[in-house]
């Protein structure tokens, strides 16, 4: 069955439904979100922190895919006390030689 980007992780979210709360959102300028500047890694980390603070509480598990995995990793590096678990799916933190980029070591 073909899915749009929004529905990519529907099955995974359904698996968590009975055990935990799942929060999914479109990052600034993506999907159904408004196209509003500024766009930067720092702003994306701030946006993620605002979502965490309002909807998830003091600590949360993060799952990120592709750019979202990179964002989740950067967030966990910057705010380790706010992340209980990190699930990193097809991100950009590891290069072709399977070693971590220096910023992510």
- What is the C-alpha separation between 43 and 13, in angstroms, rounded? 26
Specify the pTM. 0.76
Between 10 and 56, name the one with better pLDDT: 56
Q: For residue 58, what pLDDT is reported?
A: 95
Q: For residue 98, what pLDDT is reported?
A: 55
User: Mean per-residue pLDDT for 33-52?
Assistant: 86
Q: Please provide the DSSP assignment of 82-94 as one string.
A: GEEEEEEES-SSB
Cα 74 to the center of its chain, rounded Å? 9
Residue 101 has pLDDT above 70, yes or no: no
Give residues with Cβ within 8 angstroms of 33, minimum separation 6. 25, 26, 27
Number of other residues whose CB lies within 10 A of the CB of residue 73:
23
| Least confident piece of the model among 5-9, 29-33, 100-104 | 100-104
| Reported confidence tier of residue 2, pLDDT bands at 50, 70, 90 | very low
């Amino acid at each position: 069955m073909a899915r749009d980007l929004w529905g990519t992780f529907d099955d995974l979210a359904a698996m968590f439904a009975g055990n935990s709360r799942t929060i999914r959102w479109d990052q600034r300028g993506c999907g159904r979100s408004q196209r509003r500047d500024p766009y930067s890694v720092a702003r994306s980390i701030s946006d993620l922190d605002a979502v965490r603070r309002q909807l998830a509480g003091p600590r949360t598990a993060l799952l990120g895919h592709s750019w979202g995995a990179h964002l989740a990793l950067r967030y966990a590096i910057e705010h380790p006390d706010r992340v209980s678990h990190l699930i990193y799916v097809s991100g950009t933190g590891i290069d072709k030689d399977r070693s971590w980029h220096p910023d992510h070591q």
